[in-house]
Structures are given as structure tokens and as C-alpha cells.
Structure 1
């Protein structure tokens, strides 16, 4: 069962200042920082060993193209004006499907997510072709296997016909990239999409009876203030999405070239940024949204909330999920598969991705095979992130360890967190408090064996 519930989270400015450090989001453990070069042969051999399994799969498909370059974005994307780029990409993607289907084609798909870039860069006909191919090479049949079938949508590039097609083909969850409705902010980040563009799409999605509509928002963008973002929240709440993801903008122009087009002087100061976050949390909770954890909110009748309460909540590369833990297969440039103790990532650039497929090999670039210690720490981090409690004694016994000796370093750090009210400790049992839920990432970082002061610079701050 979960220690988390629908209670309001607590805000403590002093503790937030103390623990607002840089660290991972833990959609995986170990994080991608530990990945190293591996060969397609090594990946193929690992996948072949899974061929006999009939366990369900989660499938992710990455469409890297965007017609408009959003300056804030840190995703793997390719700016492209011509839709013909989609035809070329889908042709090579089919080759990857054919290679992967040898080992995974018989396993039912119970979770599918299309991300990017923006999948709606594709035309309706191209999207239909993609979905047809997925049905040919994989056991994807939403009518037979109820699950989560979702897609990220750019409202500027999404048509009524696209929504109709997605609904017909079994998609039940839509995620709209909103970020902010303020016009000055939209101009500064090169993403102009007023509420008048989004609202008709949301209305049609409601009419088609999609199960869930999610909005992505970002705080810390140019020209944002509490009052200005409050106006965005008003418009968001009028549209009443089922889920809201509220992300912290990490300004890292040295890593992401497009962010150099955003003036640092236009960004809200650190204290104003935190006030925006605090106001968002208060406003969303008053509006009836439940804090799921690490940026995610949902209405009380949403399946995420029931999964949070009954302890079945999961976490993967797409964030929180209601699906039971499954192997995740990723298709497309930069996609990361997570299959039985291994992370395997495709080439992040199109040319080597295409070149590998032309040679008839998997387009693999990097990966990581988990050690027994990694598996233990992954289980601890996931359980704390999703259930808010764990018995380290039980974990130690399962892995043949001594909780007193083998978690001695971690327990000393947890004692400080307990003094600050982020966790409660009893014997070997850890429970995250209401205050600790907002500062969950620093709690999880206690169990990260790879985290050092030096490599934290690659991550965003907790808030």
C-alpha cells in the first residue's frame, strides 16, 4: 500500500532553499549519465534472450521532427519544414520494426506512447501508415488489450482529422503542450498558441470521449510573474484537463543551443520562480487536483489518483503510470528501451540511425546493463517515488545484505532528512512525509550510488 494520499502538500521556504539542489528526475535508475557505447550485436543478443517471453510490453515511438523550433526545449528534435521528411523517417522506422519484431512481435502491447519532437508533425496519412505498421509488426490491439495509449500533441500542428484518426485507432490519452498562455512569454520562447487555438481541440477530444486529457505547463520561462501565470492557470482551469504536468524550466544554454535565443535577463528571479510554483500548487489543489508527485497533478477521479492510493502507481521514462511494470521497447532516433535489466539507446542523430538500418542492424548507440546493486537501488528509488515508503530490512534480506551495515551511509543522510521533517524513520522503515513529497528528489538522491557534486551540474534544480 502507499503512504501517499490526497492530502495537501506542505510548503516550507527555508527547507526548499536548503534542498533546492540539482539532481535527476529518476525516470530511470541508473540515469542516462551512466550509459556507454555498446554494439548492435550485444543489444541483439540481449533481445534474443527475451524472445520466449509472452509478458506485455510498453512501446514508445519517437518522432523527432518539429516545424517550429521552441527555444526552451531540451528534447531530441529536428527542425523541418517539409512533411516529406516524415516519409523518409517512416520508411526507416519500418525497418527497425521488422528487426525488433523477430523478438518482440508476439508480446501484447498494453502501453503505447508517441513522443518527440512532435508526432503531429506527421500528416494524417503518415500517422495512419505508422499505426498500420505498428499493428503489422507488433501485437497491438487496443480492443483486446485495454491499456494506456497516448500521444503528445502540439496544438499548432494538430487537426480535427488527426484527433478523429487517433480515437478510431484506440488512443485514449492526449497530452497537449501548453507551457504558458501569456503572449509575451510565447513570443520569447517561439511558441505562439493562444487559448483560442487549444480550446477547439480540447472540445473535440471531449466529444470523442478520450479518457484523459493532459496539459504540460512550464514555470520559470521568460517574463513570467505570479500574476501573469495566474492568468494562464485561470485559462487552463476553464479547459479542465484531467492531468497537469508542471515542469521547472532549466536554462542550460551551454547544452541546448536553442536556449541561447532566450535572454537570461528575461527569466524570473529565483525567488519569483518559487513564488510561481507555490501559487500553482495552492491554486491547483484548491481546484481539486491531487498532487501525484514530481510535477504531476490529476483530478480526484483520475486513475493516477486511485493508483497512488492503492500502491499500484508505477514510474518510467514517460513519468508516472498506472500500468504494471513492463519491459519498455523504444523505436526511433534516440529512443531508450528498458528490457530485463538493460537500457539500450538508439543513435541520437538521424544519419547514423539511418546508416545502421541500411546495413540491416539495430540502430544502437549506447546502453547499460544493471548490476545487482543497481537493481536494488532502482527498486528502492521507484518504491519511494511511487509509494512513499519502504522497508530497507526487507530489501536487504531479498538481496542478501545486512541493512545495518550495507545502508549505513544512506541511513546517516536519512537522519538529517528526518530532523528536517522530510521523512519518518522507524527501525529500517522509511516513510516520506507530506513535507517530503515536495522534496522527493533529494530523498531519492540518497540512494543514488553514482551521484557526485561534479556530475550534478548536468541536471536541473529540484524546483
Structure 2
């Protein structure tokens, strides 16, 4: 029996999406473009009037809050470009080129820490890219030493220290080194295990590379492993992706991110190497999505929301169950609110009621730091209305439900009246069975969970000003 046939016959648990709930026509009708709401307002609302001086003010004001810290470090280097990639990256095989960048990162840390009470615990640390494991073992150790010297890293058991890994350029020695540096969570890029798909996206990665790393990570006791997959890539079919999923389920990662590929070759140059005729059509993509949800749910994974899945005992699923799940620029997070300090080119900070973003180009980032100032190019200070809407959108995206009475109490407003226009906009979705309203509570149905971004858009007051801006499709 083929993997595809097996997937079709798998039973689906109540947390999944049984056939009776799958409405392809409805998905098509609501499959519009929209924000992913890793922040509200989104980065499109950031403006150049928000400067480094505003960041300094936000840092100093945040000290009184005593909120824990979260550090994000962007490492933009990659040895080889994957054609699907939409990340901010620099292609090179010379690790020596990272040295000047590490020096600039340290300068940024010094300038930031000068205004920050660094006795606050660093509960979260995330290295993204690019490919953080582009760095040599010595460079990774040096970067951790610098972060510890400037901010004071934690060895608390409940810390969440994560790094994104390319299995093609990491080995068991890399993992042992990362463990010694304090990392306790790994995210491995896989995308697809089909050799034909891998060739089309310029990413040759046999299963054994991923499997070897996962085996070693489990042996070393890493707390949580995440695998990234992408659907909608060239030559993918429902059958081929089901075969990849079956292998991934055997590997048994604690978390899975299954992203929808957005083909935007005018914005991302590497995507021009992908032949649009090789991409699966809309019908095939929906079939892939349905099979993904069915297979992962049947395998015991909880569908957290959108493209995230986790085992019931994983901290992500536990946080959702107890209502403490959060959204940040890396997606869903299990930790309570932190002040996020973004370091590196293109990095975004979220400090108190302010967002701040660094330049996306390396030269501008370096020039600012060489002049002795923070590299902020744009940002935003949130109004009270922004903060209320951010709370509502985050709770809807994380809990898949909204308690208007709790919002009323938290913000001292009449939430039903305050959001009367948004609730009116949700009437069609309610009639279509995407959301169920019972008094002051709104609950997303199984189909509504797939379109949670669409439901959240009703509460977004910035969207009218962003008409014509290109967002990714819902599914």
C-alpha cells in the first residue's frame, strides 16, 4: 500500500479536520492575501520618523517593567542559495567574512546594553538567518561570549535558547558545541525529502543528514526539535509530500512548521530560478494541505495554528492549552511576554510599546554602527488603540478563540462596543461556519483555524492604508 493511500485511511482525532469539516470551496473563497501577524501593527506601518533616539528612550523606559529579555541575532550568511528563499542573506563560503560582522554585532550590543538594566534575565535567545551554523565553532563560541558579557545569559532550566540549523553543514560535533554554549532547542531546515524537489530548489539534502542530527540531538538531551517543511514547491504533489510526511513522522520531531511557499520572483531574486510551470496548482496545494493536517493529526500532533504543529507534551502545545501562547517575529512562542532585542542586519526589536527595525542592507547597518549609533532605520510607537488591537489579534491567533469579556476587563473598555465594526465584518465568516459566537466568546471552527489570519484582519485598523501591499496567501 502506498503512503498516500495510508494517509487517506488514517483516522482523524477531534483536534484534526475530519472530512465533514473540509470545505474546499470555502477555502478558495477566503484564500486572500493577508498579514501573518507576527506583530501588530505589521512592519508595513513602521516609519522613518522613529529613530535610534526613540529606541534609547524605549530601552530606558522598559527597565522599570522588569520584564525578562529575549535576544534575536540575525546571521545573514549562507554558503549556497536555495531558490525558494525569501530571507535576508549573503551568499559566501568564506567564514572569515563573518568577522567584521561579529565585531559590528558586539558594537550594537554595547550601544544597546548601555541603556538597559542587564540584570533582567535573558529567558529567550534565538539565532536566525541566513544560516547561523555558517559560523565556525570558534565564531559561535565568541558570539555567545559577547552576548553573555553584554547581557548575562541564563542557565535556568526553563530558558528557551534556539538556533536554526542547515543539516547540510552541521554534524554531531556542531550539536555538542551548541549544547556546551547553552542552546537547548534546535530548528532544522528540511523543506522536502523528495530528490526531484530538492534539485529544483537547489537544496540536495538526503534524509540521513537530518536523521543523524536528530538522533544525536535526542541523545544529547535537547529539549525540543523543530523541522521546517514547505509545501507548494516545484514538482510537489499530494502523493510525493505525503511520502515526505511519512518519513518525517518516523523521525518524530517535537514540532513541525509546514510553510506555504509564496512565489514572489519580482521581490526575491533567487525565486526567478524556479519555473512557475513546475509549481503545483491551487487544487494540488489544497490537497497537500489537507493531507498534511490529516497525517500529522493522526500521528498525534496538535495543530497549533496556521503552519505550526506540536506534540501534546511540547511546551508550545502546553502554552496554547493554558492560554499563555504568544506571537513574535519568529512565529509562535511558549514564553511569557519579554522585551525583544533584535541584533544584526534587518533585525526587529519589540521593546515595551515600541517596534524598531535595523537596515536590511549590510552597508547601511555597518555605517550606522561605525558612526557610534544604533542602526535603527524605522519603527513605531504603539498607541493605546494599537495595543488593544494587538492584544485581540494575538489572543485570536494563539488561542483560536476570543473572550471579549476578558478584553473588556483587561483594557477597561466595552469590547463588544469598541469592536462593533469588526464584529459586524465577521458576520459573513460566522454565517459560513468559520467562527461561532456565544455571548462574549468567539471560537474558530476547524475551518476557521485554517483561515485565522482572515478572521484577525477584521480587527486590523491599518489594512485600509496598506491596500495594494503584497502579503502571502492564507493557504
TM-score, normalised to structure 1, is: 0.95
Unpaired runs of 5+ residues, structure 2, are 1-12
- Contact 1:64/1:118 (8 A) holds in 2: yes
**Structure-2 separation of matches of 1:457 and 1:264:** 22
Unpaired runs of 5+ residues, structure 1, are none
Corresponding residue of 1:321 = 333
Moved more, 113-122 or 53-62: 53-62
- Contact 1:218/1:247 (8 A) holds in 2: yes
Is 2:460 the partner of 1:448?
yes
**Structure-1 separation of matches of 2:436 and 2:373:** 50
- Contact 2:433/2:445 (8 A) holds in 1: yes
Give 2:397's match in structure 1, choosing from 385, 389, 408. 385
**Structure-1 separation of matches of 2:185 and 2:463:** 34
Is 2:41 the partner of 1:33?
no
Corresponding residue of 1:112 = 125
Corresponding residue of 2:3 = none
Q: CA deviation at 1:419?
A: 0.7
Give 2:208's match in structure 1, choosing from 196, 210, 223. 196
**Structure-1 separation of matches of 2:429 and 2:401:** 14
Summarize the Cα distance change of 1:241–1:398 in structure 2 as closer, same or farther, 3 Å threshold: closer
Is 2:340 the partner of 1:340?
no
**Structure-2 separation of matches of 1:449 and 1:52:** 30
1:371-398 deviation per Cα after TM superposition (whole angstroms, max 9, x unaligned)? 1111110000011111222233553465
**Structure-2 separation of matches of 1:82 and 1:458:** 34
Is 2:15 the partner of 1:7?
yes
Corresponding residue of 1:308 = 320
The DSSP-based 3-state class of the residue aligned with 1:245 is: strand
Give 2:69's match in structure 1, choosing from 57, 63, 74. 57
Moved more, 316-325 or 446-455: 446-455
1:33-432 pair list within 5 angstroms: 33-37=44-48, 38-104=50-116, 105-142=118-155, 144=156, 146-396=158-408, 398-399=410-411, 401-403=413-415, 405-432=417-444
Count how many residue pairs are aligned between Structure 1 and Structure 2.
458
1:414-435 deviation per Cα after TM superposition (whole angstroms, max 9, x unaligned)? 2211111111113333222233
Moved more, 401-410 or 190-199: 401-410
Moved more, 284-293 or 428-437: 428-437
TM-score, normalised to structure 2, is: 0.93
Q: CA deviation at 1:348?
A: 1.1
**Structure-2 separation of matches of 1:313 and 1:426:** 23
1:221-254 deviation per Cα after TM superposition (whole angstroms, max 9, x unaligned)? 0010111111211221221111100000000111
The alignment yields a C-alpha RMSD, in angstroms, of: 1.7
The DSSP-based 3-state class of the residue aligned with 1:364 is: coil
Summarize the Cα distance change of 1:6–1:57 in structure 2 as closer, same or farther, 3 Å threshold: farther
